[in-house]
Amino acid sequence: MTKVVEVAVGVILRDEEVFLTRRASDAHQGGKWEFPGGKREAHESMTEALSRELQEEVGIEVLSASPLIQINHDYGDKTVLLDVYTVSEFANEPESKEDLEYRWVAINHLPEVDFPAANGVIVDKLLSQFDS
């Protein structure tokens, strides 16, 4: 049985743009763009993991986060449970604290971005919410 990795994911929103980081080339799904976040530690709630990971990865303090969607995805070598939150209020300007490429992308341009397969559901959800 494959291990399930629980991941807190932050969809950092500003107007109709989303903050993305590029995965390190040597990481699982390396080189692809992602919504920042990371693994939940055993002693943490998902919202605690979200706050910690976004502070560590992109240097923001989460002031307000709302649940967006939960996704189970099997990559074959591992299964991930993505607990995804929209982050619309935060302190500090996001940037990569891990020397990774980052950028703001308009929500309507997300389908053009190379994401890991599990993130497709997040993109679809965002497109449906911001469809004008």
Count of residues making up the chain: 132
Distances (CA, A) of 127 to 71, 81, 106: 16, 21, 10
Per-residue pLDDT band for 74 (boundaries 50, 70, 90) equals: confident
Q: What is the pLDDT of residues 5-63, one digit of tens each?
A: 899 999 999 999 999 999 877 777 778 999 999 999 999 999 999 999 999 999 999 99
**What is residue 104's predicted lDDT score, i.e. its pLDDT?**
98
Domain residues of the chain, as ranges?
Answer: 4-130
**What is residue 3's predicted lDDT score, i.e. its pLDDT?**
78
Do residues 19 and 96 lie in contact, with contact meaning Cβ atoms separated by under 8 Å?
Answer: no
The three-class DSSP label of residue 120 is helix
Question: For 4-130, which CATH superfamily applies?
Answer: Nucleoside Triphosphate Pyrophosphohydrolase (3.90.79.10)
Contact residues for 110 (Cβ-Cβ < 8 A; gap 6+): 18, 123, 126, 127
Decide if pLDDT at 1 tops 90.
no
Both tokens assigned to 36: 């920042």
Between 118 and 71, residue with greater pLDDT: 71
d(CA 81, CA 70): 7
**Residue 48: phi, psi to the nearest 5?**
-65, -40
The model's pTM is: 0.90
Per-residue pLDDT band for 127 (boundaries 50, 70, 90) equals: very high
Q: Are strands 17-22 and 33-34 parallel, antiparallel or unpaired?
A: antiparallel
User: Tokens 């996704």 sit at which residue?
Assistant: 71
Q: What is the pLDDT of residues 80-115, one digit of tens each?
A: 899 999 999 999 999 999 888 999 999 999 999 999
Decide if pLDDT at 77 tops 80.
no
